[in-house]
Amino acid sequence: MTDKDLGVTLAKTAGFCPGVKKAIDRVLALAQSGKAPIYTLGPLIHNPQVIETLEEKNIRAVKSLSEIKNKTGVIVIRAHGVTPEAEAELRACGMEVVDATCPLVKRVHNVIAEYAAKGFDTVIVGDAGHAEVIGLLGYARGRGTVAADAAEAEKLPAFDCVNVVSQTTQDEEVFLAAAEAVRKKSRECVVSNTICQATRDRQRETRELASNADMVIVVGGKQSANTARLAQLCGALCPQVVLVESEEDLLPEQLAAPARIGVTAGASTPGWVTERVVNAVRAARKNAGEAGLELLEKSWGFFINSGVYSALAAVCLSYVAMKFEGAAADLRLMALAWLFVFSLTMINRAFERGAGASDRDKFLIFHRHRRLVVAAGLTTGIFSVALAARLGVKIFLPVALFWGLGMAYPFRRLLKIKTLIDFPGSKDLVTALGWGFVCACVPAFYRREGFDAGNLMALGYVILAVLVRSVLLGISAVKSDLIVGRESFYKALGSRFTLAALSAILLANAGWLCVLALHGWKPGVALPALVSTGYVLACLWLYYRDRVPTGVWAETVVDGQFLLTAVLVYAAKYLA
């Protein structure tokens, strides 16, 4: 992604590597299953923001088993791996042990063990004292040596038979030079290039980025070896290199002069952190004439993050549902939809522990002001129930019930009801059912004794539309490397199945809307709904192309379908 006007380029390979994603998914699945307490032996990955988020989910890092007094719960082997002796100690302590070692690190373990069993010495090209390297040494049967580079390799004694491996995040040029130095002093030398492909791709792009930049900003944890290595690599190719953990480490005076700024990130750096750094760089490089546009962007961001936009989308969907049912628009029912959705949006975001917010900014805002957010959620929720009571008992009872269930969702584990509403994809499905109820069922309950074809079509349309909406927002969250668990369909079922299922739903939806329009059944509603479905299909095509909107723009684009449908339905009555 390049902003040509501001000269800022973000590396495509910036963000979590596959091994980091797998480790995080593993511990999230444990947390969602209700197992507690959960500990990781050392930080799961070297990134302070991720560790903070995991701690908010009661997943805590310990330096050793001695810190766990009762030896109960789950102990997780982190992505860097451990020595065989350390793993044996863990498995003998009585706790449940879960191995979240990166599969590519496991591969290096196996390579070292295979040659060590044949009597080979092992030379590991990497950082002595790094968690991964310590674990690798444990498989060398006491005959392992660490060399940081070719200079250190040249100082090693001669070997009879030696296997040279690499720390998985090592600079490939450094590794090959060190391996050649060992080869020259060995009778038999096997070189096992165990640098992972993601690291090679990241380093290759970083070299290209640094070669064409006046300044490179590397984003990542100060304790991350691969992030530090990226900074070193850039330092040899670019006159100015800055390593930052977040946008708060940037100095605005550094950002104005360079004509071209490149931004990359380590394998353990979440995408949302890098996005914040890029946004801060862009803001610092804007001239005074763009200040008004920046204010507009911030105002729109507040409008989205406040939950008002999502609630407005629910109002629009309620209006469309009433038109599907052949009823006149009722402002009281639309107000009920706004209050109901806004209330539950506030409560869930306040207590979701960073899992489902559409961007990290939103998560931070909601948690810094949690009491105010909860007060707003409770107040609007009480108003929604009170308004339902004014509309009659057949509205009041289901609204009160569904609002209570929505309030309970963030606390499902504490309330011991997780088995009922805590299954793979639960968040997406519960959201769709909640919106379907308040936008389609409430108008039907209020105006009729039973459901007819219009009611059922309205309900089906709303539930499917909101389900697709929720899944798309979940994909955006994952693409920003937010900590999202299996309550999202995308994380539970995988990208291929999820995108195929969304395509099938949208195409089926478009098909029956075409049939309705061709048979003259409420064309003023069916045709606008068909246009909106086409809009979402276009969005899905962008998702297929990996051009996924994130943060504020994710909700802007995805929820925009409901505003578009409502406007078209409203305009249709004047065009008929």
SS (H, E, C) 106-171: HHHHHHHHHHHHCCCEEEEECCCCCHHHHHHHCCCCCCEEEECCHHHHHCCCCEEEEEEEECCCCC
Calpha distance 73→325 (Å, rounded): 53
Angle, helices 393-408 vs 426-436, to 10°: value is 160
Residue 541 DSSP SS3: helix
The answer to whether the beta carbons of residues 357 and 370 sit under 8 Å apart is no
List 87, 132, 275, 325, catalytic entry: 132
Q: Break the chain into its structural domains and give their ranges.
A: 2-15+200-285, 18-101, 105-195, 299-575
Q: Which residue has the tokens 């195929």?
A: 500
Tell me, which fold does domain 105-195 have in CATH? Cobalt-precorrin-4 Transmethylase; domain 1 (3.40.1010)
Residue 261 DSSP SS3: strand
- Angle ∠(336,342,347) on CA atoms, nearest 5: 130
Calpha distance 399→381 (Å, rounded): 10
Architecture field, domain 2-15+200-285: 3-Layer(aba) Sandwich (3.40)
Give residue-wise pLDDT tens across range 84-139. 999 999 999 989 999 999 999 999 999 999 999 999 999 999 999 899 999 999 99
Cis, bond preceding 523 (omega within 30 deg of 0): no
Calpha distance 132→265 (Å, rounded): 20
DSSP-assigned beta bridge partners for residue 124: 146, 165
Q: Residue 492 is encoded by which pair of tokens?
A: 């539970």
Calpha distance 327→440 (Å, rounded): 11
Calpha distance 145→365 (Å, rounded): 48
Domains 2-15+200-285 and 105-195 share a fold: yes
Amino acid at 558: V
- Alpha-helix residue ranges (DSSP H) falling in 410-550: 418-421, 426-436, 442-447, 453-479, 489-493, 495-518, 523-544
The answer to whether the beta carbons of residues 134 and 83 sit under 8 Å apart is yes
Give residue-wise pLDDT tens across range 333-390. 999 999 999 998 888 777 764 433 334 444 445 555 677 888 888 999 999 999 999 9
3-state secondary structure 507-521: HHHHHHHHHHHHCCC
Calpha distance 519→539 (Å, rounded): 28
The answer to whether the beta carbons of residues 105 and 83 sit under 8 Å apart is no
- Residue 567 contacts by C-beta under 8 Å, 6 or more apart in sequence? none
Calpha distance 530→510 (Å, rounded): 6
- Residue 220 contacts by C-beta under 8 Å, 6 or more apart in sequence? 46, 47, 226, 227, 228, 230, 243, 245, 265, 266, 268, 269
Calpha distance 121→156 (Å, rounded): 12
Q: Name the residue among 465, 461, 541 with its Cα closest to residue 499.
A: 541
119 φ/ψ sector (left φ>0, alpha ψ -120 to 50, else beta): left
Calpha distance 267→241 (Å, rounded): 18
DSSP-assigned beta bridge partners for residue 8: 3, 261
Amino acid at 316: C
Q: Name the residue among 192, 28, 29, 39 with its Cα closest to residue 104.
A: 192
Q: Residue 475 is encoded by which pair of tokens?
A: 């994909």
Q: Does domain 18-101 have CATH number 3.40.50.11270?
A: yes
The answer to whether the beta carbons of residues 201 and 13 sit under 8 Å apart is yes
- Angle ∠(195,199,200) on CA atoms, nearest 5: 80
Calpha distance 129→133 (Å, rounded): 7
Q: What is the pLDDT along the chain (576 residues), one digit of tens a residue?
A: 344 457 889 998 888 888 888 888 888 888 877 777 899 998 888 888 888 878 877 889 998 888 998 888 999 999 999 999 999 999 999 899 999 999 999 999 999 999 999 999 999 999 998 999 999 999 999 999 999 999 999 999 999 999 999 999 999 999 999 999 999 999 999 999 999 999 999 999 999 999 999 999 999 988 888 898 899 999 989 999 999 998 889 888 888 889 899 999 998 888 888 888 988 888 887 764 455 566 677 778 778 878 899 999 999 999 999 998 888 889 999 999 999 999 988 887 777 644 333 344 444 455 556 778 888 889 999 999 999 999 988 889 989 988 988 887 776 655 555 544 456 677 788 888 889 889 988 888 887 655 667 778 888 888 899 989 888 888 887 776 665 555 677 766 777 888 888 899 999 888 988 888 887 777 888 899 999 999 999 988 888 777 777 777 888 999 999 999 999 999 987 775
Q: Name the residue among 67, 40, 568 with its Cα closest to residue 319.
A: 568
The answer to whether the beta carbons of residues 360 and 273 sit under 8 Å apart is yes
- Residue 140 contacts by C-beta under 8 Å, 6 or more apart in sequence? 112, 116, 121, 122, 124
Is 132 one of the annotated active-site residues of the chain? Answer: yes
pTM for the full model?
0.69
520 φ/ψ sector (left φ>0, alpha ψ -120 to 50, else beta): left
